Structure 1
Amino acid sequence: MAPAASPAVEPVVGEPAAVADLEDERALLVADVHAGIEVGLRYERGVELDSRADERRERLCGLITETDADRLVVLGDLAHRIAAPEGDEREELVELIRAVTDRVPMTLVEGNHDAGVAEAFAGDIDVIGPGGGILGDSDRDNSTADAGVGVLHGHTWPDPSLLDADVICMGHEHPQVRLEDAVGGSRVERAWLRGELDPAAFVESGEAGPLPEADPPELVVFPAFNERSGGTWVNVDGQSFLAPFLPDALPAGDAYLLDGTRLGDYRRV
């Protein structure tokens, strides 16, 4: 991918995950794990699917080892159901969180599916609120930093302090692209979106105060870690973004496949 501002957020080739080298640690970042999605689909749509809980847990732990990460950061929606976790979903979360935290600390940036998770597992994981924060020393006291990696889920207006970051990472959108071949066939693939942020569109009207005079941060929209969670087809007319600040806050950005293939402007793929 194109070079990013320092500190860089570098995708793991072939995976919906990235690493960020901070001052004192290497963070592995993923978004939208949606643990327990099979339980949710059963209740929501009457769809019966075999659980992939073990596979999700093993993939996360494998990525921690592969990237030599010092911390796992989940950019929201660790869980699927919007309620306190119970039953099979809670069991998956217990085993996943235990497996991760036996290896490295875990930080959850609270998403719209995570209110019950943040409360149930507050003693096991670090939690950053829905408005987001900046990783590094600042994620201990929710203060700002001169530079760093901003993180949020994206379902609500962000804390304006994120504009102090060099690069901002978010989930929530589950970006996908619909690709067509020469004979009319099509497929849908998960994708990354990356581009320069428009600070004026990123924060709620009247909340920003003076906007930064330096170069604006890069915005990185993560693909969903869970391949069963659907998403926003960013290159199909009529598809609406979920975040209140998109697409306005990303007026020009490129889409990339998980294998690193650059597709160009996400709106014209």
Structure 2
Amino acid sequence: MARVEPVVGRPAAVADLGAERVLLVADVHAGIEVGLRYERGVELDSHAGKRRERLVELLETTDADRLVVLGDLAHRIGAPDGAEREELDRLIETVLDRVPMTLVEGNHDGGVAEAFADDIDVIPPTGGVLASDGDDGDDRDDAGRVGVLHGHTWPNPALLDVDVICMGHEHPQVRLADAVGGSRTKRAWLRGGIDPVAFLGDSDGDAAEAASDPSTSTPPPELVVFPAFNERSGGTWVNVEGQSFLSPFLPAALPSADAYLLDGTRLGDYRRV
């Protein structure tokens, strides 16, 4: 069974695909400071160098063979230019000096995928499967098969034929209250068994029904919703009643899921935190 293990204290995880060890992150939002300046008139010092250094540190400490970004590598929608393009150029060059890089195309990445198509591998927005060398995609018991998507659109039904599906887009956070009425927000992971019917919606009813058939010998995959790599990108307060999710299949596709803080603390059912 494929394993996806978070890196303690970091918004990143490692997947062992057998022949390849993959570092996964979501929602880097390179150039966010430029976007915030134009979108909201907010002036912030650029953290471009810090983001790049954190990625390099993670690649080195996890001994990864590849970096996979689960969408929204860039912040501003459209072809990158100016300071954002400079950050992307340096970040991608720095990563490629060490390991290959794969981008799962997110809703902010249309221009990025096109601009860097010659340098990085691109997986379409509906998602794809990361497989170990020699895997033909027919054996669910293979030790190295992980589904990946960004999460802003309905997914490829083939993702249901893996053990673990990893996604970004949602930027999950939990709002924690203290004894004196104050509160703070923390980035969080969501992990739980998937509801195939809700996950696919109307995109492929036959595949969803087949995956949810109790007579089958294999359970539906686990869904792992990644915290945003970029600490400035905000997020969905998953434990606040009435908070709207961004993904079209959430929260319905996660009928039961636990929230975890970046330090590994298990908070239990995210709805009851």
TM-score range (shorter-chain normalised) is over 0.9
Q: Secondary structure at the match of 1:20?
A: strand
**Structure 2 CA distance for aligned equivalents of residues 146 and 95 of structure 1:** 39
Q: Is the 8 Å Cα contact of residues 138 and 145 (structure 1) preserved in structure 2?
A: no
Tell me the SS of whatever aligns to 1:40: helix
TM-score by length of 1: 0.95
Aligned pair partner of 2:9 in 9, 14, 24: 14
1:55 aligns with 50
- 2 CA distance for matches of 1:240 and 1:193? 15
In structure 2, list runs of 5 or more residues that go unmatched. Answer: none
Q: In the alignment, is the contact (CA less than 8 A) between 2:173 and 2:185 conserved in 1?
A: yes
Structure 2 matches for 1:118-197, cutoff 5 A?
118-137=113-132, 144-147=137-140, 148-197=145-194
- Return the letter of the residue paired with 1:202: F
Matched, 1:204 2:201: yes
| Aligned residue among 94, 98, 106 for 1:99 | 94
C-alpha contact 1:28 1:64 (8 A) present in aligned 2: yes
Within the candidate set 72, 75, 97, 1:77 is matched to: 72
Kindly report the root-mean-square deviation, in angstroms, between the aligned alpha carbons of the 2 structures.
1.5
Q: Structure 2 matches for 1:215-234, cutoff 5 A?
A: 215-234=219-238
Q: 2:256 is matched with which residue?
A: 252
CA shift at 1:138, angstroms?
8.5
Q: Distance in 2 between matches of 1:232 and 1:58?
A: 26
The superposition leaves residues 113-142 of structure 1 with CA deviations (integer Å, 9 ceiling, x where unpaired) of 0000000000110000000001025899xx
Q: Distance in 1 between matches of 2:75 and 2:55?
A: 17
Say whether the 8 Å CA contact 1:128–1:139 is kept in structure 2: no
Do the aligned residues in 2 keep the contact of 1:189 with 1:257 (CA within 8 Å)?
yes
In 2, the alpha carbon distance for the partners of 1:44 and 1:208 equals 39
User: Quick check: 2:19–2:133 contact (8 Å CA) kept in 1?
Assistant: no
Write the letter of the residue equivalent to 2:191.
R
Give 4+ residue runs of structure 1 displaced > 4 Å after superposition: 137-140
Q: What's the TM-score once normalised by structure 2's chain length?
A: 0.93
Query: What does residue 242 of structure 1 align with?
Result: 246
Change (3 A) 1:156 1:89: same
**How far is the alpha carbon of 1:93 from its aligned partner?**
0.1
Distance 1:139 1:245 in 2: 32
2:130–2:148: 8 Å Cα contact kept in structure 1?
Answer: yes
Identity %: 75
Q: 1:51 to 1:29 in 2, by over 3 A?
A: same
